[in-house]
Structure 1
């Protein structure tokens, strides 16, 4: 999987290249980014076809050109922070982007059959790789950095925050929708003496999770969330709702409602976006999270109508920047162990993914929310934490 240096079909004559480069530089000026500049966030062109590729294919072309070694940047996180603050993406409208959004708008890309794709292509990438990237508990969601100094501390603080928001008590039965490698279930079973059932669409996650939770009252089920039909005292879902898609929001919450006891609580932890749209970034869709779709507050709120009362809503999206930078540092430190098997193109892809997302959270282009939901008519008053 070596970096490609072959010509691209969009490679054009020198005159056209110059025009495209001038136009792209004009857009980048609004973000104080220079082509072939010397600052850490500047873009260094290593192939003359980059401007045409970006203007023709948008974010997909930019990401693929980076994977192919056509351009370089010392601090991708700073670059994307600047690009997203300046909203450069609103000025590039390739036809491929329009088709991507139309497809997401008219089709249900998150059906029960399609839901397994992200498990195979992303979460089954390799447990050894994820163990090297993540904290010691293998928690693949945003850490809570208040009073935390390390990634391990930030993730433990987040898991404990979730447990306290849910008011866990010994003997409760807890459902974890999208349980990953079981970091929450293991923590909750050990610290709060609860019984847990987790569902995942990743065979690799389920296999390792069972090993890591051996001896605890924790069960892993390899199944889609739509098959669930048992009652639990509490439900938690950390970083799974991004795969549900807006066409399935109501179905998802109907499942949670039927699985939650009348006096129970449901904590939904999800990345979200500021404005309604369809689908996700085309590069992220193709290379990282196929069929993903970030919700908005309005979409989640509408889906809650006649299903759940919103007891609490907490945004700590800025903490995802620091979490992603810690994951990136771990990947870079461990990369020599994976270089021969995964290859340099994968390395560049993963670096681009982590640092682009860090820049997006830093620019507050995307958010991280924790919702605490209850059924209408739940007795008592929810006591909001001072986190």
Structure 2
């Protein structure tokens, strides 16, 4: 028997404890009935675009996504022709080639430094913070940067490479606190310009360069939140670049979002509006491409910290929206809100992970240990 889209979507949501026009903060209100057909016909892309258009809303979007994802509702929707086509193209083409990488990066990281300055901590660290002993975003990010430096066992005078350096937060912290010299690379023009300004006066070089061009030796290498943009077709190349640039006794720390299952293509809405060409690695994929190159010394998952980080970023955007709205309209704000809170829900539901992986070329003699705090 044919079921109307409204009936089918309502039943799916009910299985996750979400009601239409219900009393709970995670329930949704539907303003335009086209929402139901959009969700059934186009999955996550239809859900996100209908939200941007104001067809539906929820007082607590992060909790809505937590319940939907925890219940696995996203896996119960039929795969559209558009989704299958996107997956096929992702398998046939390299969406993270050198040329495409610049386009992908520009569409997100060059959105506007003012937006990121309003959203992030004082050091502008656009990666997951570490909240174990922190009460504020600023402290949680400093704790993450310090933990990263200690995992790399940084010592004064070391030459350090930061692949995907963002606005220079790690580079400046490591130079200030650990006395190292840092080379940071990014393919974002706006990031590079502001990073140079923020790191002025410190032994830091910020380059506008693709990781594939690197061929110098460093005592330690770090990559915070960049591997998600590499793509599995380039994983081996990426690891080979790190291997040739790391000295024999050096350590490499890979900080990346991770997934529970492998997909050649990321969420369709995120791919279209937030992170074009992104792909989330899995444990198996990372393991496959480090074989015969690295020894895995340490692997830590602090994905629940990303939930807190995303909520802090959203709080900052909400507080600073009055100063941003002259440049960013309501549709953009709804898009950005959807991005931050849907991702928070995904980490809360444990569908998304955050890993820090420490690798060496030959194994640390006597075993690896994280340096104690100074």
TM-score by length of 2: 0.97
Q: Deviations over 1:31-88 (max 9, x none)?
A: 0111122211111001011000110100000000000011011011000000101111
Distance in 2 between residues matched to 1:95 and 1:236, nearest whole Å: 39
For 1:305, the equivalent position in structure 2 comes to 291
Correspondence 1:1-387 to 2 at 5 A? 19-92=4-77, 93-376=79-362, 378-384=364-370
- Could you tell me how far 1:293 is from its partner in structure 2? 0.1
Change (3 A) 1:328 1:23: same
Q: Deviations over 1:262-302 (max 9, x none)?
A: 00000000001001111100000000000000000110011
**2:329 aligned counterpart, secondary structure:** helix
- Could you tell me how far 1:368 is from its partner in structure 2? 0.2
Query: Is 2:10–2:19's contact at 8 Å kept on the other side of the alignment?
Result: yes
Distance in 1 between residues matched to 2:364 and 2:320, nearest whole Å: 48
- Could you tell me how far 1:353 is from its partner in structure 2? 0.1
- Could you tell me how far 1:118 is from its partner in structure 2? 2.4
**2:284 aligned counterpart, secondary structure:** helix
Aligned length in residues: 371
- Could you tell me how far 1:367 is from its partner in structure 2? 0.1
- Could you tell me how far 1:381 is from its partner in structure 2? 2.4
Q: CA RMSD in A?
A: 1.3
- Could you tell me how far 1:221 is from its partner in structure 2? 0.5
- Could you tell me how far 1:128 is from its partner in structure 2? 1.2
Distance in 1 between residues matched to 2:11 and 2:264, nearest whole Å: 28
**2:98 aligned counterpart, secondary structure:** coil
| Structure 1: gaps of 5 or more residues | 1-15
Distance in 2 between residues matched to 1:341 and 1:131, nearest whole Å: 14
**1:114 aligned counterpart, secondary structure:** helix
- Could you tell me how far 1:193 is from its partner in structure 2? 0.4
**2:215 aligned counterpart, secondary structure:** coil
| Structure 2: gaps of 5 or more residues | none
Distance in 1 between residues matched to 2:94 and 2:257, nearest whole Å: 20
Change (3 A) 1:385 1:33: farther
Query: Is 1:271–1:366's contact at 8 Å kept on the other side of the alignment?
Result: yes
Greater Cα offset, 346-355 or 121-130? 121-130
Distance in 1 between residues matched to 2:139 and 2:370, nearest whole Å: 22
TM-score by length of 1: 0.94
Change (3 A) 1:37 1:269: same
Distance in 2 between residues matched to 1:221 and 1:22, nearest whole Å: 54
